[in-house]
Amino acid sequence: MSRKSTTISARAGVSRRSFAAGAGAAAVLTGTAPFSIGRAQGAPLKVGVILPLSGPQASIGQDCYRGVDVAPAIFKELGLPELAIMKADTETNVEVARARAEKLISDGAQLLVGAFDSGQSTAIAQVAEQKGIPFVINIAAAPPITEQGYKFVFRNFPTAPMILGDAFANQKEVFEVAGKEPKSVVFMHVNDTFGTSMANGIGAVMPKFNMPYKIAETISYDATARDLSVEVAKAKATGAEALLMVSRLNDAILITRELVKQRWSPMAVLSMGPGWYEDQYLRTLGKLSDGPINFVPWSDPNKKLSKTLEAALAKSFPDINLNTNHVFTFEALLVAADAYKRAKSTDPKALADAIRTTNITDNVSVGPGIQFDAKGQNDKVKNSAVQNRGGKLVTVAPKVAANAKPDMPMTPYDKRG
């Protein structure tokens, strides 16, 4: 598909610097027709995509945006209407996220998508609800976001308790297939909004699953930490057999390097968040990246649209593995395009009503499809167990979405050649 591109002019007073930072910057990925808020279909829907494109989460936000880049050609094949993407950068800052949302709406955005991070997404949700503009969350797991009674906020991503529940269920499946199970783990987690939500949920969720291990120690750490040697040493001193992790990218790399330095090779690294499966993690650490099993929202490799998305990503970004960032950003836009097609209007209430009746069964993520309950939450989306193997990612659970068997225990770091 040849992309026609144009640029939505920024409002007066926006400098080149703020444009580059994403403060109201806008680029049309598809379509060149003029826009009018009240028009029925014929013009592309103006979608403000808000992501952390700079700051500590920049690499992940940029990775999410790859899901935006590959969407237009696929949507055209599916017969979906065009979207005009207005790109904004949160700078990995909650208050900036709020300001960017307000600016995008002021500049004419008719629907918002974002923002990977729970804290930033919470701020955007407040703005969207106040302004009456639909907001489709791509990635953010903090439960309170869809517990506020909002009418314009929708999340096609599991909450922290959903992620935890599926993580424990998939861990038990992995242990059964591998014929190995740890008897004790250290739980290490980043202390940001997502990590804290996951930590708070463990006490309530884990007892329901009769796990084979006990948590020997819980260790939290700062998301911007540059040295985690003390935390890893403390974890090693417990004598636990495995690590249970909720991390981001930079800390996952730091922790792995400390495991190697301190000569500790756990039976398994069981990650319940991003970081350990990121392409930068795989490329930076090479053979040392093999082994961690990630219990996360993922694609179902057996679904038709998953194969289409993976092929499109491979064509546009040959060195990038399909992951959560692409899948759920793509699906957030899929929700927007599908709703616009059915609403036949850019009216915010009409769009929100259409999103509320979403029933997409030809999708990418694990589970029966995309629907939203009365709170705006897709409560049917499921998670997978994905293992790092040779610089690639294979799905090892649940069985319905698996394309490989788990390799456990991990090969010790000092025996990887």
Using CA atoms, how far apart are residues 299 and 280, in angstroms rounded to an integer? Answer: 19
**Helix or strand (DSSP H, E) at 332:** helix 324-343
pTM > 0.85: no
What is the per-residue pLDDT across 153-168, written as a single tens digit (0 to 9) for each?
A: 999 999 988 988 999 9
What is the per-residue pLDDT across 380-395, written as a single tens digit (0 to 9) for each?
A: 999 999 999 999 999 9
Q: How far from 382 is each of 138, 207, 236, 273, 300, CA to CA, in Å?
A: 15, 20, 32, 14, 10
What is the per-residue pLDDT across 60-107, written as a single tens digit (0 to 9) for each?
A: 899 999 999 999 999 999 999 999 999 999 999 999 999 999 999 999
Picking from 128, 169, 163, the residue whose alpha carbon sits closest to that of residue 145 is 128
At 54, give phi and psi (nearest 5°).
Answer: -145, 170
Residue 6 pLDDT more than 90?
no
Using CA atoms, how far apart are residues 240 and 218, in angstroms rounded to an integer? Answer: 11
What is the per-residue pLDDT across 355-381, written as a single tens digit (0 to 9) for each?
A: 999 999 999 999 999 999 999 999 999
Using CA atoms, how far apart are residues 268 and 8, in angstroms rounded to an integer? Answer: 49
What is the per-residue pLDDT across 26-37, written as a single tens digit (0 to 9) for each?
A: 343 433 333 333
pLDDT number for residue 41: 52
Picking from 248, 258, 265, 243, the residue whose alpha carbon sits closest to that of residue 188 is 243
Of 4-8, 306-310, 411-415, minimum mean pLDDT range: 4-8
pLDDT number for residue 273: 86
Q: How far from 52 is each of 58, 59, 133, 148, CA to CA, in Å?
A: 5, 8, 21, 24
Mean pLDDT for the chain overall: 90
Q: How crowded is the C-beta side of 285, counted as CA atoms within 13 Å?
A: 33
Identify the residue whose tokens are 């269920």. Answer: 169
Q: How confident is the model at residue 255 (pLDDT cuts 50, 70, 90)?
A: very high
Between residues 109 and 193, which one has the greater pLDDT?
109
**Which tokens belong to 30?**
């598809």
What is the per-residue pLDDT across 211-229, written as a single tens digit (0 to 9) for each?
A: 999 999 999 999 889 999 9
